[in-house]
């Protein structure tokens, strides 16, 4: 097996002698053992765009020919943030890499990404990340996988899904598990074509928005206009076992139906929503 030290070395690899299914082992993204390494297979007919983590176009290739990372399997069906060179150094702006990471999971039909552990620092980004239905963003724990949104605007959400979804689409809302997010405004899941009536057949549904075991916090001291979580015009949203602090409005569920805020200790109730307004415009 051929060995490349870093992703840069992989891109610089000569492909003239490679045969289909030949494998190259990469030791790390920037340096050996940094989590971004893995095994790649040469595919001479692949013409897809280089996505920075799973599909790699060698510099010497002008047409078809890509190195494809081996991913998936029963033990781990996620794409990993380390594979995309996302740096947890509390300073690098990872906006481009994070969006490519999300887009890749959607395009591959994996629909699940994993924010690798960074307990001593944070993964910074300054541009809003656009989500899509069915995407699941998972970390290693609210004090272990830490994201920091550095955009200075109170009204720009760190993560946003804002798109119309039809009644019969069968699409699920984005979901978040086991991570921390430091931001001025956090997660927006909004279906502008929504709107519930007494006739259930007229619902425009975006269902199963789920945010669990996450710490979403701001240091803005409850500044007006900041929102921790906004679920607007969705059905069956759940916010569970989350710490949400420091926002003007911590949870905004206006226009949604059958949404719940709960913990695992004693049933359904408002839990850990600290020193801020809670908007729950819900149909009972």
pLDDT averaged over every residue in the chain: 86
180-182, strands of its sheet edge to edge: 123-125, 146-149, 180-182, 215-217, 243-245
Distance separating alpha carbons of residues 31 and 7, to the nearest angstrom: 9
* Phi, psi at 160, each rounded to 5°: -140, 135
First CA to last CA distance, the chain: 61
pLDDT attached to residue 261: 85
- Percent of the chain scoring above 70 in pLDDT: 85
pLDDT attached to residue 69: 95
For the cut 80, the answer to whether the pLDDT of residue 220 exceeds it is: yes
Q: What is the pLDDT of residues 66-116, one digit of tens each?
A: 999 998 765 678 999 999 999 999 999 999 999 999 999 999 999 999 999
**DSSP symbol at 251:** E
Distance separating alpha carbons of residues 149 and 275, to the nearest angstrom: 22
Q: What is the pLDDT of residues 11-23, one digit of tens each?
A: 999 999 899 989 9
For the segment 29-36, the average pLDDT, to the nearest whole number, is 96
For the cut 70, the answer to whether the pLDDT of residue 172 exceeds it is: yes
User: Helix, strand, coil: what percent of the chain each, to 5?
Assistant: 10, 35, 60
**pLDDT: is 47 or 162 the higher one?**
47
**pLDDT: is 41 or 209 the higher one?**
41
CA angle 219, 220, 221 (to 5 degrees): 95
Distance separating alpha carbons of residues 50 and 100, to the nearest angstrom: 10
DSSP structure string for 70-131:
----TT--SEEGGGGT---SSSS--HHHHHHHHHHHHHHT--EEEE---TTS-EEE-SPEE-
* Phi, psi at 8, each rounded to 5°: -60, -40
- The confidence band for 277, taking pLDDT boundaries of 50, 70 and 90, is very low
pTM (2 d.p.): 0.88
Among 19, 25, 51, 54, CA closest to 39: 25
pLDDT attached to residue 221: 79
pLDDT attached to residue 170: 66
For the cut 70, the answer to whether the pLDDT of residue 198 exceeds it is: no
Alpha-carbon radius of gyration of the chain: 21
Q: Answer whether 276's CB lies under 8 Å from 250's CB.
A: yes
pLDDT attached to residue 263: 67
pLDDT attached to residue 92: 97
pLDDT attached to residue 228: 93
Domain coordinates of the chain in residue numbers? 1-70, 74-279
pLDDT attached to residue 223: 85
Architecture label for domain 74-279: 3 Solenoid (2.160)
Indicate the range of 13-27, 193-207, 269-283 predicted with least confidence: 269-283
Among 207, 260, 252, CA closest to 228: 252
- The confidence band for 275, taking pLDDT boundaries of 50, 70 and 90, is very low
Distance separating alpha carbons of residues 12 and 23, to the nearest angstrom: 15
pLDDT attached to residue 187: 97
For the cut 60, the answer to whether the pLDDT of residue 127 exceeds it is: yes
Judged on CB neighbours under 10 Å (0-12, 13-18, 19+), 186 is buried
For the cut 70, the answer to whether the pLDDT of residue 206 exceeds it is: yes
| Sign of the Cα pseudo-torsion (99, 91, 249, 246, in order) | positive
């Amino acid at each position: 097996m051929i060995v490349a030290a870093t992703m840069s070395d992989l891109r610089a690899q000569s492909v003239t002698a490679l045969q289909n299914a030949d494998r190259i082992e990469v030791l790390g993204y920037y340096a050996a053992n940094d989590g971004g390494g893995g095994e790649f297979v040469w595919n001479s007919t692949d013409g897809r765009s280089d996505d920075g983590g799973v599909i790699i176009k060698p510099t010497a290739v002008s047409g078809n020919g890509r190195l494809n990372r081996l991913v998936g399997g029963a033990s781990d069906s996620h794409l990993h943030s380390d594979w995309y060179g996302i740096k947890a150094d509390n300073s690098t702006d990872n906006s481009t890499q994070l969006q490519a990471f999300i887009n890749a999971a959607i395009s591959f039909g994996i629909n699940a990404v994993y924010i690798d552990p960074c307990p001593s620092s944070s993964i910074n980004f300054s541009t809003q990340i656009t989500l899509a239905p069915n995407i699941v963003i998972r970390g290693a724990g609210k004090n272990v996988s830490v994201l920091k949104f550095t955009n200075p605007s109170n009204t720009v959400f760190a993560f946003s899904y804002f798109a119309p979804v039809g009644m019969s689409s069968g699409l699920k809302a984005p979901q978040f598990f086991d991570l921390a997010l430091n931001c001025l405004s956090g997660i927006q899941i909004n279906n502008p074509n929504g709107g519930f009536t007494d006739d259930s057949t007229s619902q425009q549904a975006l269902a199963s928005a789920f945010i669990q075991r996450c710490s979403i916090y701001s240091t803005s001291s409850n500044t007006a206009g900041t929102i921790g979580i906004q679920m607007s015009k969705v059905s069956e949203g759940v916010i569970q076992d989350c710490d949400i602090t420091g926002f003007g409005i911590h949870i905004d569920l206006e226009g949604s139906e059958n949404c719940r805020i709960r913990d695992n200790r004693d049933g359904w109730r408002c839990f850990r929503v600290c020193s801020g307004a809670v908007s729950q415009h819900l149909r009972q």
